[in-house]
Amino acid sequence: MDMRGKMPMRLLLFCFVLLVAVSGCSSISPAKEKQLDEGIKVLIVEFGSRTPIPDMKVTVRDMETNEDVTTATGDIEGEAIITDLQEGHQYLFVPSSIYTDDSEQEKSVGKVVTIQEDMGYVVLETYFEREEQQLDVPIIMQNPELPHGCEITALTAALNYYGLNLSKTDMAKNYLPKQEIVEKGNKRIGPDPAKAYAGDPFNKLTGTYVFAPVIEKVAKKIAKDKDVSLKVENVSGQSAEEIVSLVQEGVPVVVWVTLDLSKPTFKEGWWVKGTNRKLDMYRNLHAVVLTGHMDDKVIVMDPLHGYVSHDETSFFKSYKKLGSQAVAIWK
């Protein structure tokens, strides 16, 4: 009787210990794969002096797969935020200039970093020096609030360059004229993008775009409401040389291009309200702030990516394909 009574107890104890052991193993593995959603702060500094260098790009490579997993652009204070990295993994952080080809690595000093929770700054040293002329237009990202709000985000950044403290969401809600696209019979009816934003820039499904005349009017209204002396001009149609000349004089210019400077693509659009005119809808329209020029490259503040450099010829070819639209703002 004693042996029969002890056996179930021993079996129960064995099962309990086994369950704890298995549970313990399963709890460790997810911890290693945990994503640090808040991101890792990276500070890019000059080698030796450790002076922060603005507008540098950071490329992050997974040491296990030897593949690049993400990039980020530093702000005017040399700080970048890297997201979507796995805790416990090792990554190689490599700084590079946004003004040079990615293959130029001799000035870069990479650092292998093991991602841990509650990390401080990752400091990256580089031999790059900022010698080019560029306007320090603040980086403002359109996402996540404005998935289709590149134009108003770019304008917000250009205006804030002059010391205003504007919010992209306030600009989109209270200053950007908007009209819905509605179904009437077999037709979709909407506004002329040169007069109002078509749809809702806050909505990924119903947002579209707006053209230069509207952004010009919004900028002028802001200047009046905030009582600041700003000159706003729709410089659409000006040549590449004229646009670059404005930037070299210290004037940020909002420019319409395609997302990747490729050929514009279209899908089913809408009929302009009150007219017999039908518009095809751009699928890849985008707006950026032109902030600098160096050799055969232009520098832009891209509301999707931060500071980016583009081949000058490709950039202005895309500008022309989008109707040569641009708005300049100067003091």
Mean pLDDT computed over 1-18: 45
- When computed from its CA atoms, the radius of gyration of the chain, rounded to whole angstroms, is 26
* Lowest-pLDDT choice from 78-87, 180-189, 249-258, 263-272: 78-87
Exposed (0-12), middle (13-18) or buried (19+): which is 94, by Cβ within 10 Å?
buried
Cα 126 to chain centroid distance, Å, stands at 23
CA-to-CA separations, 28 to 62, 88, 114, in angstroms, rounded = 21, 11, 17
- Secondary structure (DSSP) of 136-178: -PPP---TTT-TT-HHHHHHHHHHHTTT----HHHHHHHTS-E
The pLDDT score that the predictor gives to residue 237 is 98
The pLDDT score that the predictor gives to residue 49 is 62
What CA–CA distance (Å, rounded) separates 86 from 116? 9
The pLDDT score that the predictor gives to residue 148 is 98
Q: Which fold has domain 40-126?
A: Immunoglobulin-like (2.60.40)
Stretch(es) of the chain classified as CATH 2.60.40.10: 40-126
For residues 303, 305, 311 and 313, what is the CA-based torsion angle, rounded to 10 degrees? -30
Residue pair 315/323 in contact by the 8 Å Cβ criterion: no
CATH architecture for residues 150-330: Alpha-Beta Complex (3.90)
Per-residue pLDDT band at 12 (split at 50, 70, 90): very low
What CA–CA distance (Å, rounded) separates 307 from 168? 18
Cα–Cα–Cα angle for 209, 321, 213, nearest 5°?
45
Per-residue pLDDT band at 185 (split at 50, 70, 90): confident
Q: What is the pLDDT of residues 222-242, one digit of tens each?
A: 999 999 999 999 999 999 999
Of residues 122, 171, 121, the one with CA closest to residue 150: 171
What CA–CA distance (Å, rounded) separates 312 from 315? 5
Mean pLDDT computed over 6-30: 39
Residue pair 42/121 in contact by the 8 Å Cβ criterion: yes
Q: To the nearest whole number, what is the mean pLDDT of the chain?
A: 85
Structure tokens that stand for 159 in this block:
């205006």
What CA–CA distance (Å, rounded) separates 300 from 251? 13
The pTM score is 0.69
Stretch(es) of the chain classified as CATH 3.90.70.10: 150-330
* Helical axes 212-225 vs 150-160, angle rounded to 10°: 40
The pLDDT score that the predictor gives to residue 3 is 44
Higher pLDDT among residues 183 and 131, named by residue: 183
Q: What is the pLDDT of residues 154-172, one digit of tens each?
A: 999 999 999 999 999 999 9
The pLDDT score that the predictor gives to residue 132 is 53
Q: What is the pLDDT of residues 36-49, one digit of tens each?
A: 556 888 988 877 66
Q: What is the pLDDT of residues 69-118, one digit of tens each?
A: 998 888 877 888 998 898 889 999 988 877 665 544 445 568 889 998 77
The pLDDT score that the predictor gives to residue 327 is 99
